[in-house]
Every structure is written in C-alpha cells, then in structure tokens.
Amino acid sequence: MPAEKTPLVTMRLDKWLWVARFFKTRSLATQAIEHGRVKLNGERVKPAREVRSGDRLHLHVGDFEWTITVRALAMQRGPAPVAQALYAEDAASQARRQAQVNDRKLAASPAAAIKGRPTKRDRRLIHRFTGD
C-alpha cells in the first residue's frame, strides 16, 4: 500500500521562497538570505531555517520590498496562481510597491539620458513628425 502523504508543517526558508516564486532558483534565494535581504519574524536567519504557516517575512527583491505572512507550504514549485496562494501581503506593503511601480512608469526612460542613437520609440516619433 502506498504511504499517505502528510501535510507539511515546516519547510526550509530558501526552498519556500523558491516555491513561492520570489526567486528563480534556490541558490538565488540562499544568497538573498545570506546577504540579509530576507528577515523571518524580524530576525536575520540562515537559509536552512524552518518556516511555518503564520510566520512573517520581510523581503528585499530587486528594487521592491515585500512584507508577507506565510499562509501555506507546498511540496513543489507550481504555477504562479498556486504560488500566490502560499502567502498574504500586507496592505501597506502592497500600496508601497504599487507606488514604486507608478513612479517607475512616470520616470524618464534610461535611454533618454544617453546621448547618441535614438531608440525605436524615438525613431517612430521622428518619422511621424517628418512624414517619412
């Protein structure tokens, strides 16, 4: 008879971050934890630290900061909708990230700061203006 699968109670932090799709690989999750970009319940931890449902995580991923609560654990990495069900983001964290996204959209393009060849968008505007 096959053994029944028991639900997970704990899981390694680096593996959970990978399963929840915050990082593309477990090694990137491990590096982020080691560099102090991930805090579990307000403390710096090691990648092998066990995470449980109800734990609070503070993450720095790229330019964004996340404050989340672990809702569930999963055996393996799945599609994005499944991964998003593994955590709940704080309202303040979500508002802060949305403000960063809006600021980024309003900011000037990095290509605009560089003098030289026009970008594809610039060329289209030039052609539209000159009628070519």
Decide if 20 contacts 87 (C-beta within 8 A): yes
For residue 110, pLDDT over 80 is answered with no
pTM of the model: 0.77
pLDDT at 107: 81
Per-domain boundaries in the chain: 10-89
Beta bridge partners, 44, equal 39
Buried b (16+ CB within 10 A) or exposed e, 2-18: eeeeeeeeebbbbbbbb
pLDDT (tens digit per residue) in 70-96: 999 998 999 999 999 999 999 999 999
pLDDT (tens digit per residue) in 3-34: 556 678 899 999 999 999 999 999 999 999 99
pLDDT at 116: 80
pLDDT at 52: 95
Q: Which of 119, 123, 120, 69 is nearest to 93 (CA)?
A: 69
Greatest alpha-carbon pair distance for the chain in Å reads 77
For residue 99, pLDDT over 80 is answered with yes
Residue range 10-89 forms a domain whose CATH class is alpha beta
